[in-house]
Structure 1
Amino acid sequence: MQLGMIGLGRMGANMAQRLMQSGHEVVGLDAQPTVREVFAQQGGRSVDSAAKLVQQLPTPRVVWLMLPAGVITQTMIDELLPLLEPGDTLVDGGNSFYQDSMRRSREYAQHQLNYLDCGTSGGIWGLTEGYCLMIGGEQAPVERLTPIFQALAPSPDRGWAHVGPAGAGHFSKMVHNGIEYGMMQALAEGFSILSKKTELDLDVHQIADLWRNGSVVRSWLLDLTASALKDNPGLKGIAPYVRDSGEGRWAVAEAIALDVSAPVITLALLERLRSREPDSYGDKLLAAMRNSFGGHAFIPDTSQPFKPLD
């Protein structure tokens, strides 16, 4: 099949490569000229506008977006709408909010266009290992694009599924990422405890590698943890600052809206937010309150004089 890939970043470029390795033809578009040049050198056809990309694809067209969620994705969706023709299919493989995907599907349907939301997991390893694809939308375009999904997945018969109507793909991916937050946080906390027990002289990489075999906590995340600890057991050069791309926030908000208790995912998200506070006002206030009611000592900040609470 022929497909247009818009967004040739870390995942988009690798997905395009995996498709081409399976015999599919890919026309690529990216805002960065150097990225387009590299893609062309890798065997793809690159263009510098959405209009040119659409012109080079046979009908019914397939266009796949791998762009950051939010304004960038919406802008491109709006730009593509008048360029596409009835029967064409647009796939949003980024991490869009599921309600946006439901709205976009309805809008595209008014123009007889197919819109699929595809939650995509696999990260930078997807090129070699394959991607897990959670697909939402109508059945007919999913069936037509089956060869594409089969090529991207770890194997033709596993790792991809049509999980429900419009929005279901991105909703599933949102929950997936919330679970991911919790699993990562648990591993991080556990290895932090191991590393602090200095009198036992524990080799954290050895333990991580040990747990990969036969343990009930063995997982790909543990494999990656073991690899990171092998190369850098002291985690030197890494700042204790953890970003989030939004899915965890959405998952927590949905849990609240649905009256679902999700303390692990919620606390994992809050820990990421906390990691970004190098000069925590809240922690300073806690120390001040303990000093005021109980005379408990605090560590002074010599750059600013301490004023006790009344």
Structure 2
Amino acid sequence: MNKLYDIGLVGLSVMGRSLALNMADHGFRVAGYNRSPEVTDRVLREHPHENLSGFYSLEALVSALERPRKVFLMIQAGPAVDAVLEQLLPLLERGDVVMDGGNSYFEDTNRRAETLAEAGIHYFGVGVSGGEEGARRGPSVMPGGPREAYGAVRPILEAVAARAEDDKPCCAYIGPGGAGHYVKMVHNGIEYADMQLIAEAYLLLKYAGGFTNRELAETFAAWDRGELHSYLIGITADIFTRQDDLATGDLIDHILDSAGQKGTGRWTSIESLRQGVDVSMITAACSARVMSNHLERRARAGGRIAAVPVTGVDNKSAFAETVRQALYTGKIIAYAQGFSLLADASGRFGWGLNLGEIASIFRAGCIIQAAFLGDITAAYRADPALESLLLAPFFLDRVNERQEHLRRAAAAAVLGGIPAPALTNAAAYLDGFRARACGANLIQAQRDCFGAHTYERADRPGSFHYDWRKTP
């Protein structure tokens, strides 16, 4: 039998279906499979495509693929991936390639790659960002796996990826093992911080500035035409214009004030603690979502803890400008935290990450795509060993120029009783990053006093212990 299909795609729900059609649009013959046959039938019925065919067993799908076989998994992360791999493994041969496009934990990807490598099968963890529309029209793609096998999948991955303004595909080989999924994890962590910053800007403008939804829409639309231009700012401006289709008024005012999370932001926070890298804004964003879920407790506490009177602003235009510059400064710090974590992981795991290239593939297709990612790309190309984005000349100048706005916005939130954990953590991180004194000498003394953990001195090397029980 002639092997006609270029790639098999397992999992035809929203993301898998969209990616399969994207591949088909680019001339690749795609064999699609879903565990539920009715899903396969619905995709073929609702989205007929000459380059997409449905299969109803993994055996049939694998047997229809050109060698070396290429199988792309677009299924729920976790045990489902292991279950499908267990079924696939006996069907594959040495030299075949399996790609996992879900949000798998990078250590799981490392483990799976080692297992498949024993059978001579190449395994890639592929970060895919952009949501349904991105998967359909062009996502940011972050493949990690064996470099020697990347050539076999590169034409497909680069073809379906988004294209930046310079027409470069937003896809690049990231590194071995779980590197691709790790970078996607950090991308999502930055996304959490970015969304939280925007939410806090909204709260400040609405409750301290007294902005109406129409004024909010106009303000965010104006911001999207400048240096804050990004996918998230653009959709935020649009959200404030939408009328509710189920009740009177604006939709935003009828949406429950509680946000969920799927885990990648939380993983970023956990990994940062393991690695000893401060990503406090990402952690704050995760915690803010957790706090948002306690609606009943918040209601009870709101009736018992005195509210702080919110003082209005005299000049709405000037206040909006302060919030805009605070948002931009906070955004710089959030990205600096995320890329510091990537830099640490690069050395710790021996991945050799190209941070400039990673920033480059975030310029289009993904959720955090933003105008200033071009500036991040330029910063790392100018200095690949850059210690922190905050020390790159472009960003250093802007932080020095605008940190007062960050502090004013954070102070307005604190004094007005408006929760702004991302903005306040941004200011705290900036102060800790440049601090001459951060109180750690006292903490050393405390630890030595209660636990004899010893302390280090500033005037001589070595570890010391003081007898704190003796009379001063």
- Partner of residue 220, structure 2: 208
Contact 1:150 1:157 in 2 (8 A): no
d(CA) in 2 for partners of 1:159, 1:74? 28
Alignment match of 2:56 (pick from 48, 53, 56): 48
Contact 1:2 1:25 in 2 (8 A): yes
Give the number of the structure whose residues are more often strand, by fraction.
Answer: 1
- Counterpart of 1:136 in structure 2: which amino acid? G
1:173 to 1:283, Cα distance in 2 relative to 1, 3 A? farther
Contact 2:21 2:136 in 1 (8 A): no
Alignment match of 1:174 (pick from 185, 190, 203): 185
Taking the TM superposition and a 5 Å limit, the aligned residue runs for 1:1-310 are 2-41=6-45, 42-43=48-49, 44-127=52-135, 129-155=137-163, 157-197=168-208, 199=210, 201=212, 203-214=215-226, 216-232=227-243, 233-280=250-297, 284=301, 287=304
Percent identity (aligned): 32
- Counterpart of 1:226 in structure 2: which amino acid? A
Contact 2:101 2:128 in 1 (8 A): yes
Q: Deviations over 1:115-137 (max 9, x none)?
A: 01111111112145411111111
- Counterpart of 2:168 in structure 1: which amino acid? D
Question: Which of 109-118 and 152-161 deviates more?
Answer: 152-161
- Counterpart of 2:35 in structure 1: which amino acid? A
- Counterpart of 1:276 in structure 2: which amino acid? N
d(CA) in 2 for partners of 1:86, 1:34? 32
Q: Deviations over 1:184-204 (max 9, x none)?
A: 001011112212247555611
d(CA) in 2 for partners of 1:83, 1:128? 29
d(CA) in 1 for partners of 2:298, 2:196? 23
Shift of 1:21: 0.6
Q: Deviations over 1:173-231 (max 9, x none)?
A: 000000000000010111122122475556111111111111x3221111111122221
Q: Deviations over 1:58-112 (max 9, x none)?
A: 2211000111111111111121111111111000011000001011111100000
- Counterpart of 1:211 in structure 2: which amino acid? W
1:199 to 1:105, Cα distance in 2 relative to 1, 3 A? closer
Contact 1:39 1:45 in 2 (8 A): no
Shift of 1:55: 1.7
Shift of 1:113: 0.3
d(CA) in 2 for partners of 1:163, 1:226? 33
Contact 2:74 2:101 in 1 (8 A): yes
Q: Deviations over 1:236-270 (max 9, x none)?
A: 44222211111011100100001111111001001
1:288 to 1:179, Cα distance in 2 relative to 1, 3 A? closer
Please identify the structure whose Cα radius of gyration is greater: 2
1:173 to 1:199, Cα distance in 2 relative to 1, 3 A? closer
Aligned length: 289
Runs of 4+ in 1 over 6 A off after TM superposition: none
CA-atom RMSD, angstroms?
A: 2.3
- Counterpart of 1:212 in structure 2: which amino acid? D
Contact 1:212 1:223 in 2 (8 A): yes
d(CA) in 2 for partners of 1:105, 1:78? 13
Contact 1:130 1:152 in 2 (8 A): yes
Shift of 1:285: 11
Shift of 1:282: 11
- Counterpart of 2:61 in structure 1: which amino acid? L
1:194 to 1:288, Cα distance in 2 relative to 1, 3 A? closer
Give 3-state SS (helix, strand or coil) of 2:173's partner: strand
Contact 2:129 2:135 in 1 (8 A): no
Give 3-state SS (helix, strand or coil) of 1:77's partner: helix
Give 3-state SS (helix, strand or coil) of 1:176's partner: helix
For structure 1, the residue ranges without an aligned partner over 5 or more in a row are 290-310
- Counterpart of 1:87 in structure 2: which amino acid? G
Contact 2:77 2:103 in 1 (8 A): yes
1:2 to 1:246, Cα distance in 2 relative to 1, 3 A? same
- Counterpart of 2:23 in structure 1: which amino acid? L
For structure 2, the residue ranges without an aligned partner over 5 or more in a row are 244-249, 307-472
- Partner of residue 308, structure 1: none
Q: Deviations over 1:11-68 (max 9, x none)?
A: 1111111110110011111133332113223222112222221122122110001111
Contact 1:28 1:39 in 2 (8 A): no
Give 3-state SS (helix, strand or coil) of 2:177's partner: coil
- Counterpart of 1:203 in structure 2: which amino acid? E
Q: TM-score, normalised to structure 1's length?
A: 0.87
d(CA) in 1 for partners of 2:299, 2:206? 27
d(CA) in 1 for partners of 2:120, 2:88? 14
Q: Deviations over 1:256-300 (max 9, x none)?
A: 0011111110010011112211222896499489xxxxxxxxxxx
